[in-house]
Amino acid sequence: MPSAVAAATDADRDLDRLAAEISDREEGSGPANAEEATRLASCRLNRASLSGGVGELRAAAAVLDAQLDRFGPWPDLCYLRATAHLKQHELPEALASIAAGDGLAGSPDGRAVRADVDLQLGRYEDARSAYERLAAETGSWDALARLAHFEAVLGDPARAEQLYADAAAAITAKELPSYAWVEGERSRLHLRHGRIAEAAACCDRAVRAYSGHWMVERRLAEVRAAQGRLEEAVALAEKCAARTGRPELAHLAGDLLGRAGADAGARAWHERALAGYLESVALGEVQYLHHLAEYFAEVEADGEAALRWAARDHALRPHFATEAALARAGELAGRGGRDHVHN
């Protein structure tokens, strides 16, 4: 954002600050040592997360690779690289990064990554045990949020809500983007169980604490849709999709426009989503395989295509969500293939 334009939200201000710090740290020959390289990489990764930009995440991963090549397997750099791998669903690579850093595998950070991989690979008891131990040992908001997510998708929803509340309470005033994210996840949990008012309250708290977070705006779009306020939901989804360039948000905008009866607009956003998914695959990425399976199952009702993408995803991440997607695609394919659904 040009310096002459005032930052409109908390997120905008932080994005500007991070961009300035990145520019300063990349001046000249760049970082002089591994500590400085870690700070640069952390700024890059934080900015990618806060902006939601897929291109920014790719750029952050490239910076991490360059700094690791330059300074070797510094543990903090290895941890950051592992987190980037996780965001891109690169599970073996995440484990390799943790193994490369001296002492990292046995640290809380390294064990958290291992547990995240176990969850993605369907090793549920291993993941649960690791999350329980980390939450008990550290009491950190991120450990509590990881355990909350596990309970939300595979355990006790009531416990998940309490754990999210505990995670939010553990966050300091210097970590408001994290607070907004946790409240967004609480909203998602409430919405999954039909508690629309509670979901809206979580989004309201998030926006009051930290404005402009794209993930919160996404959750708020889902809440507005559940409230029947489709015009507001569409506006939020379109804003998020345009700002971040994330194809899954274009997909959401298309779905909401379809619900509103705006067929041409829905098709335009859905085509944009598909182009983004396929671009990612062409680059060798795998994080959008499950979205492709969902797209062909729900937008195109093309069971054979959905089955191909779902099978690829399940081969990499054999867990509850990919199993459900595979079953859904298989059922659709078994009904006789393509039965086009108009938006």
Residue 341 confidence (pLDDT):
39
- Would you say residue 110 lies in a domain? no
- Would you say residue 1 lies in a domain? yes
- Would you say residue 84 lies in a domain? yes
End-to-end CA distance of the chain: 35
The C-alpha atoms of residue 297 and residue 304 are separated, in whole angstroms, by 9
The C-alpha atoms of residue 71 and residue 85 are separated, in whole angstroms, by 19
The residue from 47, 82, 104 where one domain ends is: 104
Residue 2 confidence (pLDDT):
41
Residue 1 confidence (pLDDT):
37
Report the candidate in 144, 79, 147 with the shortest Cα–Cα distance to residue 113: 79
- Would you say residue 112 lies in a domain? no
Q: Would you say 306 and 297 are in contact if contact means Cβ atoms under 8 Å apart?
A: yes
The C-alpha atoms of residue 35 and residue 304 are separated, in whole angstroms, by 49
Residue 3 confidence (pLDDT):
43
- Would you say residue 143 lies in a domain? no
Q: Would you say 243 and 255 are in contact if contact means Cβ atoms under 8 Å apart?
A: no
Question: Which CATH number is 61's domain given?
Answer: 1.25.40
Residue 238 confidence (pLDDT):
98
Q: Which two tokens stand for residue 202?
A: 């979580």
Number of domains in the chain: 2
At 172-186, the pLDDT tens digits run 988 999 999 999 999
- Would you say residue 269 lies in a domain? no
Q: Would you say 44 and 77 are in contact if contact means Cβ atoms under 8 Å apart?
A: no
The residue from 83, 104, 125 where one domain ends is: 104
The residue from 104, 136, 166 where one domain ends is: 104
Residue 71 confidence (pLDDT):
97
Q: Would you say 98 and 113 are in contact if contact means Cβ atoms under 8 Å apart?
A: yes
Q: Which amino acid is at 215?
A: M
- Would you say residue 309 lies in a domain? yes
| b/e per residue 254-267 (b: at least 16 CB within 10 A) | bbbbbebebeebbb
Domain that holds residue 319: 289-343
- Helix locations, the chain, DSSP H: 10-26, 34-51, 54-71, 75-87, 91-100, 108-120, 124-138, 141-154, 157-170, 176-192, 196-209, 214-226, 230-244, 247-259, 263-282, 289-294, 303-316, 320-334
Segments of the chain with pLDDT less than 70: 1-7, 335-343
Report the candidate in 39, 36, 34, 32 with the shortest Cα–Cα distance to residue 18: 39
Residue 251 confidence (pLDDT):
98
- CA dihedral sign, ordered 284, 288, 289, 292: negative
Residue 187 confidence (pLDDT):
98
- Would you say residue 78 lies in a domain? yes
